[in-house]
Structure 1
């Protein structure tokens, strides 16, 4: 039987000429505004980002997944967009970096799926150049649908009028958001502060939605939104198959709290699709691991919670017992950092960690590594990315290293994969994995037999 097509649904990709222009604020404001009006909004994040989805989830009230033509794959993107179109009144995709930055870029995604592009430009220090930037973003590449331009961090109504007057095509004007602390989203070294760390996260989004409501963009109703309609077809061919029941009957303990929070929702879905039961726990607050067959320590901010982690000696002992029992551990980035003997923060504070890996990690003030990569592990290959400010010093020899994504080059060596434990059951790396890129490999990460 032929695959069913999803109905055409309004969709928009919120892009910018560079990072830091306010894409997340605008995407969240748009999602929050239409959600409050009773529309079903599904939001996505372009590229390997853990933090923006927290805000988009709060704004839309629905799970947020990543879209990346390489890391998640074209078939995965097509399937997720097709599924969202079955239930949504509006699909919002937040871009990554600048519109044409990266391989693949947000523009590549927009062109592949026919997404109209809304350009958000920080106009706080410009006037006539705003029009030149808008023109360039619209016409730099043929074949992109363009939904207009929104000026962000504008000083005054007079400034807004000046910006609008600089456009060659006045029809592209989607309005201006004035500079305001009421809806500024705070940042730190790895990106935005997570929404659940702020007591006023939702009021900030409501303030942004209220501000957007006075713009042409915010005043679009159901009829106007139809101009953004996209037909999302299902993928022509499925991605990698999920081994049926590969983790059936197995319980995986997943660290999830303020220190370990870099978790793709799709990774949890992948583990469940493989048959695993997930048991969440907090290394900050809990005295021990839950009963489990394997352990996943995702990335996050152990450096912000070093004293609390060091004080929880009972958790350290529980993790040591898990390792000594030869049970599998997969630790990525922040999860790996906590497995070392010592962690030193950028201000020089030092904390004893769990001591599973010999050596120490030290936070730097500059980015140590960034980019899409892939890792050969557990007899297969996983796609993902790396993004960290710390470096590690260890006598361990790397059991393997990541490779650059196609079209990219590594600066120096790839990220090390460290393998330790009585049955080589602990695997750790700075690499963040996208589990669905190889479900069979993912299953083997958490199976004891695959480590022996």
Structure 2
């Protein structure tokens, strides 16, 4: 009989996006990992960028938790497994605490995880206390850890914020903001993580500077009451994660097949759980760089994930050897599944935000254009071969193509509609869409996209 796993756990949330919860989560993970503790970090909802920072900070894989995309049973299984091998679990929320359906608050209440609210207090004083009170009491029964003030101007400012709290025990400390010139305005400063149009810059792009930023943030957090808690203090937030039900059997539909996965600076939007799902399906996974490699590795199928092709369009077009290799793969009628940025790279051309046009690989008819505003955002589902994949869409570009449209995505619990949602294109052995799939939600659909119906002949 599998018993519950008990482990201190905190869900780091905020009243809105942009408050600093990613920095605080990564700093807390780095602080405890430096002290030799086993830390596992999770991210609420679909997100490819924040987990790069959390994995660097914790030294452990980072998985998503979403009561709709994963499903409650999958979330329970991941939390129970992580709690059984960790000293501390951290879950970064998404958007504001109560935003979305399901929200970070829904996840916290379902699993009894205390909420730490991170609030950008740079332009407030007494209102900080009202905001903390509202977050704590808006929903009855919400597990609560406290509030951390971010981007605070001075020690005096921090004291004003603390004095405004109705419950002094809510105070988890203050992080002093970074001045415009880069120097700290007080004794400590939380390092800011760099951003671009889809979110944070991927940690690996910054090399050693990424770890230096995390260390600076961890050092700042170490001066707060939250950062000074050892394992004994963290036990106040210990949670019993119940044993999950029996795992759903994943049939080995990709047994004997090799799936080549693109992975580099332009193609980096990959859930670790998706790679795990491919392994459960029996596939051997190999990686390659679409930007730098001259040819695909020996494989039966290719997955081109999303990323930033718009930042590397010239290099993509210049790698004609990879283009030739991809064409040969498709000419041999071997499957290729391309998601979002992976799909974009297969079109004939891209018009960038500055109006210039760059050629791309041209394996898909049509073109893609970048925009300064979001073109689509939100949870989506896609039916493939009778199985429904869950996932999301998030992109700043639009595409025009004459390729066949096999189907379209729809929002949760709604039926697909003509000319709505994201198109699922098919062109020869290529399947492509802006849709980012969460593979564990429908492994059989993934196997279909990658050509698997059992052992390779």
Global fold match (TM > 0.5): yes
Root-mean-square deviation over aligned CA pairs: 1.6
1:303-322: CA deviations, max 9, x gaps?
00000001011111111111
**2: CA distance, partners of 1:210 / 1:412:** 51
Q: Is the 8 A contact 2:121 2:149 kept in 1?
A: yes
Q: State TM-score, norm by structure 1.
A: 0.95
Q: Is the 8 A contact 1:326 1:448 kept in 2?
A: no
Q: SS of the counterpart of 2:9?
A: strand
> Partner residue of 1:218?
227
> CA separation of 1:249/1:351 partners in 2, compared to 1, >3 Å: closer, same or farther?
same
Q: CA deviation at 1:131?
A: 0.7
> Partner residue of 1:269?
276
**1: CA distance, partners of 2:452 / 2:445:** 13
Q: CA deviation at 1:357?
A: 1.2
1:244-301: CA deviations, max 9, x gaps?
x221110011000000000000000100111111110001100111111001000000
**2: CA distance, partners of 1:426 / 1:366:** 28
Q: Which one of the candidate residues 162, 184, 189 is aligned to 2:197?
A: 189
**Runs of 4+ residues deviating >3 angstroms:** 406-412
> Partner residue of 1:393?
400
Q: Is the 8 A contact 2:367 2:401 kept in 1?
A: yes
Q: CA deviation at 1:137?
A: 0.3
Q: CA deviation at 1:163?
A: 0.7
Q: SS of the counterpart of 2:140?
A: coil
> Partner residue of 2:265?
258
**2: CA distance, partners of 1:185 / 1:12:** 21
Q: Is the 8 A contact 2:408 2:416 kept in 1?
A: no
Q: For residues 53-452 of structure 1, what are the structure 2 equivalents within 5 Å?
A: 53-180=51-178, 181=182, 183-199=191-207, 200-238=209-247, 240-243=248-251, 245-406=252-413, 413-421=420-428, 425-447=429-451
**1: CA distance, partners of 2:3 / 2:291:** 47
Count of residue correspondences: 443
1:370-391: CA deviations, max 9, x gaps?
0001001133110000000000
Q: State TM-score, norm by structure 2.
A: 0.94
Q: CA deviation at 1:175?
A: 0.4
Q: Is the 8 A contact 2:447 2:453 kept in 1?
A: no
Unaligned runs of 5+ in 2: 183-189
**1: CA distance, partners of 2:346 / 2:304:** 9
Q: Is the 8 A contact 1:257 1:284 kept in 2?
A: yes
> CA separation of 1:411/1:220 partners in 2, compared to 1, >3 Å: closer, same or farther?
farther
Q: Is the 8 A contact 2:46 2:392 kept in 1?
A: yes
Q: Is the 8 A contact 2:253 2:453 kept in 1?
A: no
1:101-151: CA deviations, max 9, x gaps?
000000000000000000000011111111111000000001111100000
Q: SS of the counterpart of 1:231?
A: strand
> CA separation of 1:325/1:408 partners in 2, compared to 1, >3 Å: closer, same or farther?
closer
1:143-162: CA deviations, max 9, x gaps?
11110000000111111111
**2: CA distance, partners of 1:222 / 1:300:** 38
Q: Is the 8 A contact 2:277 2:440 kept in 1?
A: yes
Unaligned runs of 5+ in 1: none
Q: CA deviation at 1:449?
A: 6.4
